[in-house]
Amino acid sequence: MQYRTLGRTGVSVSSLVLGAMNFGTLGRTTQDDVSAIVDAALEGGINFIDTADMYSGGESEELVGKAIAGRRDDIVLATKVWGPMGEDRNHRGSSRRWIITELENSLRRLGVDHVDLYQVHRWDATTSDEETLSALTDLQRSGKIRYFGSSTFPAYRIVEAQWASRENHLGRYVTEQPSYSILQRRIESHVLPVAEEYGLGVLAWSPLASGWLSGAIREGKEVTTSRSTLMPQRFDTAIAANRAKLDAVEKLVVVADEAGLTLIELALGFVTAHPAVTSAIIGPRTLEHLTSQLAGADTVLSGDVLDAIDQIVAPGLDLAPDEKVDTPPALLDASLRRR
């Protein structure tokens, strides 16, 4: 396992982070499953676990909390806030009212008295940066969170938040958690340079591109990943964007084979090779998944291999760009463009 410093915090974290989105109802995993995965991940050198309040409606946090009981201090623990937690219209977002309330709920579910990294899961266009940052700063000063970060923020919002911190003498986001993989490289042109400029730790989610880079999705092979059931349109190869991804995957398999690597090792090695990236977040649902992904922990790709990847998916290019979730609202809602 490789270890890197998380931004400028001085905290040493593993190059792979155990993501907990598949823990609970969503991934059909029990407490025994989760405990076994956590045990194996820690034994494999992972020291960082990332979850969120909205994963399986809080169940993921509960399962993680029980799995790490008795060894909390050995783990860098992260969770998130923003997503809806029920029908009440104020039980979501990044207002001071909700952040402070929901952190207490997360601490209770996790069975801890603090989290190391508290992240705003998405940018909330209805809430000012000052409102959110002031609440997070107060929680940090109270000792309930050690650091705070953003997740899937557009580059311009990362900059705005950094300026709001400075202008209002508040704590700042020290990490960003974007989607990044060989098949989705757009953040190389904006988010990653901004993260480097501000010294942010970068925790890349979906490095296997929702399973496209796991080896489970190949030409002539039935798609059976859990994501294909939830989002079938993203795996229908009759759709041109998905066809482009499948064509890229077949070419990447050849590159991996010639390098003596699995496709998973190639994919994880690519993400962690970028100088702006601190860690790649893996989301295993089974021990078998975890084992195959831990094999990529020490993968270092040569310049020739990275060049070969660039020839298949050019730097800064997104395949299936409509899947991105950091698109400015005005590009999605005509009324915002024409108001």
């399986």: which residue's tokens?
56
Check residue 230 and give its pLDDT: 61
* % of the chain with per-residue pLDDT over 90: 86
Check residue 333 and give its pLDDT: 77
- Quickly state the pLDDT bin for 233 (edges 50, 70, 90): confident
Structure tokens at 236: 């229908």
- Quickly state the pLDDT bin for 224 (edges 50, 70, 90): low
pTM of the model: 0.93
């066809």: which residue's tokens?
243
Catalytic entry in 55, 147, 173, 198: 55
| H or E segment to which residue 110 belongs | helix 96-110
- Quickly state the pLDDT bin for 336 (edges 50, 70, 90): confident
Check residue 335 and give its pLDDT: 81
Q: Quick check: is 55 catalytic?
A: yes
From the number of C-beta atoms within 10 Å of its C-beta (0-12, 13-18, 19+), residue 266 rates as buried
Angle at which helices 59-67 and 31-43 pack, to 10 degrees? Answer: 50
* % of the chain with per-residue pLDDT over 70: 97
The set of residues, in sequence order, having a beta carbon less than 8 Å from that of 313 and lying 6+ positions away, is 182, 183, 185, 248, 319
Calpha distance 309→304 (Å, rounded) = 9
Type of residue at 293: Q
The set of residues, in sequence order, having a beta carbon less than 8 Å from that of 236 and lying 6+ positions away, is 242
Please check the confidence at residue 226 and state whether its pLDDT lies above 70.
no
pLDDT tens by residue, 255-286: 999 999 999 999 999 999 999 999 999 999 99
Calpha distance 42→97 (Å, rounded) = 35
Please check the confidence at residue 227 and state whether its pLDDT lies above 70.
no
Other Cβ atoms less than 10 A from the Cβ of 336: the count is 12
Confirm if 260 and 335 have CB atoms less than 8 A apart: no
Domains of the chain: 3-212+271-300 (3.20.20.100)
pLDDT tens by residue, 62-104: 999 999 999 999 999 999 999 999 999 999 999 999 999 999 9
Confirm if 161 and 153 have CB atoms less than 8 A apart: yes
pLDDT tens by residue, 138-169: 999 999 999 999 999 999 999 999 999 999 99
Residue 206 DSSP symbol: -
3-state helix, strand, coil split of the chain in percent (to 5) is: 45, 15, 40
Structure tokens at 193: 């340079």
